[in-house]
Amino acid sequence: MSDLHRQAMDAVLKAAAEDVKTALQERGISDRGSEEGDLAILDVAIMHAYRVFMRIMEREGMGADAAIFADMAVELADEIAKERDEERSE
């Protein structure tokens, strides 16, 4: 991973940490490890992934929307799960 990529990732993680804190407060969740806490954190992670996806697509002059993001995320998740299953079976 390049230094620039590492710096960008650090910035995204710092922003996400603030968003997680805000989401937990707004939802009145005091236990981060609870199911509700997990769901709030997952919501923040998905929103950040969506924002990054949309910015990259816009910068590259490509049209995109939430449906495309969702479809591609499902495809990627399926590929990753398949690869992990193959690695486990070796």
Please indicate, yes or no, whether the overall pTM of this predicted structure exceeds 0.85: no
Q: pLDDT value at position 64?
A: 87
Six-digit token string for 36: 């509700």
Per-residue pLDDT reduced to its tens digit, 41-80: 999 999 999 999 999 999 999 998 999 999 999 999 999 9
Residue ranges covered by each domain of the chain: 3-64
The kind and range of the H/E element at 25 are helix 3-26
Which residue has 């070796």 as its token pair?
Answer: 90
